[in-house]
């Protein structure tokens, strides 16, 4: 689970294309990649969400 601003995703894609892509690789269309269609139908209950937050607490300094 996560979120990234579209402009940040564009910048990240630019870096990947500049430094990692091979000659001839095509830049993906961001609108086709940034979508919820890959998200599953999983819905967490309030208790499950609280537990997930608690389990991830030690990693918060790395992603906040």
pLDDT 10s digits, 8-48: 999 999 999 999 999 999 999 988 888 877 777 888 999 99
pLDDT at 1: 60
DSSP collapsed to 3 states, 10-42:
HHHHHHHHHHCCCCCCCCCCHHHHCCCCCCCCC
pLDDT at 3: 77
Rounded distance, CA 64 to CA 59, Å?
A: 9
């Amino acid at each position: 689970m996560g979120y990234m601003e579209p402009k940040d995703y564009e910048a990240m894609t630019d870096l990947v294309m500049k430094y990692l892509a091979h000659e001839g690789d095509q830049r993906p269309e961001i609108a086709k990649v940034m979508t919820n269609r890959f998200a599953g139908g999983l819905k967490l209950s309030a208790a499950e969400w609280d537990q997930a937050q608690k389990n991830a607490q030690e990693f918060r300094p790395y992603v906040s």
